[in-house]
Structure 1
C-alpha cells in the first residue's frame, strides 16, 4: 500500500480526553505508511505544543462548528486526503458532511468515546447520528460498553464497530515523572504528615466531586488525610463552598489544571475517581501508569473495564459516599507489601494501553478501510 494521508478533525486541541487521544494517535502514527494532517477550529489548545514538528496543523477561520463544513471539505480536496478521522458525534457529523461535499474518494472513520443517551430526545438524536454513520467506513468504540450502546441507541451494525481502548503515552508519563517537579507552592501538601488522596478531572456534574467531598469528610474521622483536586470547571465555587460547609476546607486543595499531573499522582497515596459515568476512564489508565493505587466508582462502561471488575483497583457504588469512604480506608490501611502488589498489578495493566500498541490497532483499521476502497475501485 502506498503512503496514505490521514486528516484528523477535532474541535480544538484543548485539555480534554478527546484531544489527548488525538494527540497520541497523531504523534505515534507510522510515518512510513501515513502522513497526518490535523485540522481544528480557530481556538488555542493546551496540547498544541506537544504535537510532533512533522504534523501539518491547519486551523479553520471559524469558531462555529456548523461553519466548518465547507472549509473542511476544501481542505480534504486540496490536501488529497485518503482518510478523514474524527471523534465525538457533532464533530463526526461535520466530518462526514465535509467529506461528502469534497466530492473525493476519501473515506470516513468516526470514533465514539462516551456512553450517550438515555432520555427520549437524546436517543432520537443518536438515532439520527447513526443514520449518518452509514456514510462512514468504520466506527471505533473506546470500550465494549460503548459499543453495546452504539448498537442499541445508534442502530449501527455490530460488524461495523471496532473496539479500541484509549492510547496512553507511557513513555511521556514516565518522562514527566522522572523530569518533573511538584510546584513549590504545593510541596507542603505532599511533604507534611498524613495520607494524600488525589483526583483529576473537569469540575462538572458528571465527575460527581460532591460525593468525593462527602466521603473525604467521613475519612477525616478515621485517619489524617488531605485531598488534592486537579482540574477546572463550572462547579469550582460550589465545591469550595461545600468543602467549607463540611468543615474540611483546610484539608482540600483545588490546584486547577496541571500540564504534568503525573508527578502529583506518583507522590499521592491514592487516586480516586468519583464519576457517574465514563466511556473509558482515561485518567484511570494514567493513574495506573503513574503507580498509584486506585479507588473508583463502578461508572460504566469505562472504569469497570479498565479496572477489570476490581482486579486492578477498588470499586465502590456510584453516588454512595459511605461506600466510597470505606473503600478509601481499606486501601490506605493496607500493609506496604499489599500496596506494592496492587501498584505492580496496575503497572502491568497500564502496559495494555500503551500508545505504541494502541495506535497499531488504529493503523490496522485505517489500512483495512483503505484496502477495501482499493479493492472496490479495482472492480469498477
Structure 2
C-alpha cells in the first residue's frame, strides 16, 4: 500500500485584522489551500475588535489560531489604540513598551511555533527582523507597489532591502510588482516569486445570496465602487468628477453606490454635493458582505493611485462584472488581462473614466462580452491554479534550503 506523503506544516502570520484587502486575501488562502498537502496554523499578533467580532468566524475550523500577544498587560497600549484613545505621548510610550516588552514576547512565541512548522508565511512582512531565524523556511508577502511606497524614500528602501534579503523568498503579487522589486533591490533578494492572490469563485458567488448580504440603497440601476475612503491611495475624487461628467453630458439612469469607510468620507460627500450629484451618489459605509451589491451592479469601478493586487477586482471577475479600473501600479492591468477582461483608464483622467463608464452602461453587447471575459479570467485565480502555484513556491524554497543551492533574484513565475 503506497505511503501518503506527509503534509507541509505552514504558519501564516499577520499583525492584526482590520478591513483591508490583505485580510480578505489571507482569508481566501486559508480556505482554498489543499488540506491533503498542507496543515495550516494562523498566528495573529493582536486580537483586534474586527478579528474578534467578524474575522474569527470566517477562518476555517481546521486552521489552528495562535494569538501571540495573549496577556492583558501586554495589550494595554494596543487596546487604547483600537479604542482611538492613544494620545501622542501615549504613542511614544507604546513604541518604547513594544520594544522592551511586546517584541521579545512575540519573538519567543514565534520561535516556539517555528519548531512545529516547516514554513512561515509572513503575510504582511511584520516579522522581517527575524526572517531567516529559528531554522525554518520564510516566505515574505508584499502587497503594495514598491515604487509607490518606497520610490521617494531611498533610505527606507535600503533598510528594507537588508531585511527582505533574510527571507528565503519574497512574494510579489504580480509581474509588475516583481519588476519593481528587481529594479529596486537588485541582487539583494535570495529569491523573488510571483504568487497572485487567490479566490474561491463558488464561495464568492454564494456570498451574494447569503442571509444578511447588503442590498442596494436605491431602486435604480447602479455602478458600484468598493474601496476604503482613503484619498492617499484611492482616488474617489476622480470617480465623482467622472460620474458628474456623465450625468451632465448624457441621460444616465445609473446611480453610483460607494462602499467603504474612511477619514475622507465627509470631504467626498461635500464634493458630491458641490458637483450636484449628491442625490444620485450613495455612501453606504463599510459592508461585511458587499457581494450582493457587486453582483447586482451594472458595473464595478476601481479608482486608485496605486494598488497591490486588489481583491475587489478578483471578486468582481468571479461575479462576471464589467469592470473599469485605473491603470495604476500594480495589479489592475494584470488582473484584467491587459484590458481584455475589463477597461483600463489612466490614473486621474476624469474624461477617460467617464467615457469608459458611459460605454458600459449604454452598450449591452459590450457588457455581455466583458462579463464573459471576466468569468474566464477568474479561473486563473481560482482554487486549482492557486494551489498549483502555492505548492510549487513552497516546494522550491524547501528544496533550496535542503540543497543550499544559491538562488538568484530572477522572478519565478508559476503561470
TM-score scaled by structure 2?
A: 0.82
The answer to which of 148-157 and 133-142 deviates more is 148-157
Distance 2:154 2:138 in 1: 23
* Shift of residue 332, structure 1, vs aligned partner: 0.9
- Count residues with an aligned counterpart: 365
Shift of 1:73: 2.9
Which structure 2 residues correspond to residues 304-343 of structure 1 after superposition, within 5 A? 304-334=333-363, 336-343=364-371
Instruction: Give the secondary structure class of the aligned counterpart of 1:363.
Output: helix
2:63 corresponding residue in structure 1:
55
Q: CA–CA distance in 1 between the matches of 2:309 and 2:254?
A: 28
RMSD of equivalent CA atoms: 2.3
Q: Does 1:373 align with 2:401?
A: yes
Classify 1:157/1:134 alpha carbon distance in 2 versus 1 (closer, same or farther; 3 Å). closer
Structure 1 residues 127-142: aligned runs within 5 Å: 127-142=158-173
Aligned pairs for 1:22-37 within 5 A: 22-37=26-41
| Among 176, 182, 189, the residue aligned to 1:151 | 182
Going from structure 1 to structure 2, the CA distance change for 1:269 and 1:38 (only over 3 Å counts) comes to: same
Q: Note the C-alpha offset of 1:17.
A: 1.3
Matches within 5 A, 1:48-197: 48-61=56-69, 62=75, 63=78, 68-79=102-113, 80=115, 81-89=117-125, 91-96=126-131, 100=133, 104-117=134-147, 122-156=153-187, 160-180=191-211, 183=214, 186-187=215-216, 189=218, 192-193=219-220, 195-197=221-223
Q: Which of 368, 373, 377 does residue 345 from structure 1 map onto?
A: 373
1:163-242 equivalence runs, <5 A: 163-180=194-211, 183=214, 186-187=215-216, 189=218, 192-193=219-220, 195-205=221-231, 206-221=233-248, 222=250, 223-242=252-271
Contact 2:162–2:188 (Cα < 8 Å) also in 1: no
Structure 1 unaligned regions, length at least 5? none
Deviation at 1:156, TM superposition (A): 4.6
- List per-residue Cα deviations over 1:228-281 (Å, max 9, x = no partner): 001111111111111111121111111111122111111110111111111222
Unaligned ranges ≥5, structure 2: 70-74, 79-93, 406-415
Which residue number in structure 2 is paired with residue 14 of structure 1?
A: 18
SS in structure 2 of the partner of residue 37 of structure 1? strand
- Residues 167 and 190 of structure 2 are in contact (CA less than 8 Å); yes or no, is this contact kept in structure 1? no
Residue number in structure 1 paired with 2:91: none
Q: Please tell me whether the aligned partners of residues 68 and 109 of structure 2 are also in contact (alpha carbons under 8 angstroms).
A: no
Contact 1:281–1:303, Cα closer than 8 Å, also in 2 = yes
SS at match of 2:225: strand
| Residue 300 of structure 1: aligned partner | 329
Q: Partners in 2 of 1:310 and 1:95 — Cα distance?
A: 40
Distance 2:291 2:187 in 1: 37
